[in-house]
């Protein structure tokens, strides 16, 4: 008889573990042991579940790359001991954390499933129980003794998504996430319907490797009609800027005003990576389709293709910190898939 799978639950905070402060009416992170006591059903799962809490549980709006390092370090330390990992996380920045970890944890052969909820676990109508129970079941799934899921993913409201393909779309609905350019990999109905062909497999000859650094001197510039030169200058000419994501229009189009193109050119010449991602929630950047993006390829702007802004930002932070090289090296690395985040 095989042993039961061992799952490590990592608690970071978020609504799932919050309690209402009746004096102020606000929600605050709460002791995790009490959170677990709210779900006696966990004892019925055929898994050995242990848990650990990060140093200071937070509302995920306070998420920071230093906490991503703490999480990656926890997984590294416990990688051999557990068969899978579930991270309880606030939904607000869950897609950023899932994306960051998908780069920081390379050659994973086990599941790291992030989940959370829109209502606290103690609420009568909470979505926390289903999300947590199924996330644990997914992390524990095996096939011929090997974990079925071997990547960082996000489980919410009956769907398992590739983490670095997700984005938060609703502050209200239980269906809070979407993965506009990649279908769900598991759908939870009466059975767990696994789309095996969609699951990520890393290079199996390479050992699991953790990266703990991220470059924070990066930024996101969202274009809008009427954007001014001094506003763009304030960002692109910032002395310690290391990389920037530009959220462009449609299939990667930007204004062709000469001051704007000149600023882009100056930035690229300074060796600062400039990545083009679309503001649209679905579809991809294909520079050269319209006149308004022809100059961008010539300048050397990096194509984010169909990546989400969350994945683009964290990929840039990751590459700048861990894969040094010149502009062209970074461009080539950015435009290829590292963890299934890009087509
Ligand atoms: N503000 C909360 C957080 O992200 C929202 C949630 O958990 O869904 O921590």
Distance, in Å, from the CA atom of 50 to the CA atom of 244, rounded to the nearest integer, reads: 40
Q: What percent of the chain has pLDDT over 90?
A: 84
Question: Residue with the nearest Cα to atom 7 of ligand 1?
Answer: 90
- The CATH class, in words, for 218-334 is alpha beta
DSSP state of 249: B
CA of 59 to the centre of ligand 1 (A): 6
Helix axes 258-269, 229-236, angle to 10 degrees: 10
Average pLDDT, the chain: 94
Query: What is the C-alpha to C-alpha distance for residues 69 and 21, in angstroms, rounded to an integer?
Result: 30
Q: Token pair for residue 1?
A: 């008889």
- The number of the ligand 1 atom at minimal distance from the alpha carbon of 94 is 4
Annotated domain spans of the chain = 6-210, 218-334
Question: What is the CB-side half-sphere exposure of residue 114 using CA atoms within 13 A?
Answer: 33
Report the topology of domain 6-210. Answer: Rossmann fold (3.40.50)
Range among 7-16, 27-36, 85-94, 123-132 with highest mean pLDDT value: 85-94
- Is 70 exceeded by the pLDDT of residue 112? yes
Query: In CATH terms, are 6-210 and 218-334 the same topology?
Result: yes
Calpha distance 253→66 (Å, rounded): 34
CA distance 261 to 61: 34
For ligand 1, pick from 29, 56, 60 the residue to mutate: most ligand atoms within 8 Å of CB.
60
pTM here is 0.96
Distance 211 CA to ligand 1 centre (A): 26
Render pLDDT for 289-333 as a digit per residue (tens, 0 to 9).
888 888 999 999 999 999 999 999 999 999 999 998 999 999 999
**Predicted local confidence at residue 29, as pLDDT:** 72
């Amino acid at each position: 008889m095989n042993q039961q799978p061992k799952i490590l639950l990592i608690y970071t905070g978020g609504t799932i573990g919050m309690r209402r402060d009746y004096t102020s009416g606000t929600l605050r992170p709460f002791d995790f042991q009490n959170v677990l006591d709210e779900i006696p059903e966990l004892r019925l799962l055929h898994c050995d579940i242990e848990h650990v809490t990060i140093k200071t549980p937070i509302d995920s709006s306070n998420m920071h790359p230093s906490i991503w390092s703490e999480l990656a370090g926890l997984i590294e330390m416990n990688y051999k001991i557990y068969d899978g990992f579930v991270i309880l996380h606030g939904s607000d920045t869950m897609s950023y954390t899932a994306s960051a970890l998908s780069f920081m944890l390379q050659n994973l052969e086990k599941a790291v499933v992030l989940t959370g909820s829109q209502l606290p676990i103690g609420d009568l109508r909470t979505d926390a129980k289903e999300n947590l129970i199924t996330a644990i079941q997914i992390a524990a799934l095996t096939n011929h003794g090997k974990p079925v899921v071997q990547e960082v993913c996000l489980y919410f409201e009956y769907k398992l998504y590739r983490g670095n393909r997700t984005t938060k779309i609703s502050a209200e609905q239980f269906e809070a996430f979407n993965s506009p350019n990649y279908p769900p990999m598991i759908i939870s109905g009466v059975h767990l319907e696994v789309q095996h062909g969609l699951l990520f497999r890393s290079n199996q000859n390479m050992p699991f490797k953790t990266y703990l650094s991220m470059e924070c001197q990066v930024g996101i510039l969202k274009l809008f009609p009427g954007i001014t030169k001094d506003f763009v200058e304030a960002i692109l000419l910032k002395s310690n800027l290391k990389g920037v994501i530009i959220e462009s229009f449609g299939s990667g189009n930007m204004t062709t005003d000469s001051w704007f193109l000149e600023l882009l050119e100056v930035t690229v010449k300074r060796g600062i990576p400039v990545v083009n991602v679309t503001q649209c929630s679905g579809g991809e950047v294909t520079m050269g389709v319209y006149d308004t993006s022809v100059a961008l390829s010539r300048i050397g702007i990096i194509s984010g293709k169909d990546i989400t802004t969350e994945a683009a930002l964290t990929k840039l932070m990751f590459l700048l910190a861990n894969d040094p090289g010149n502009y062209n090296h970074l461009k080539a690395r950015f435009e290829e898939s590292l963890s299934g985040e890009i087509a």
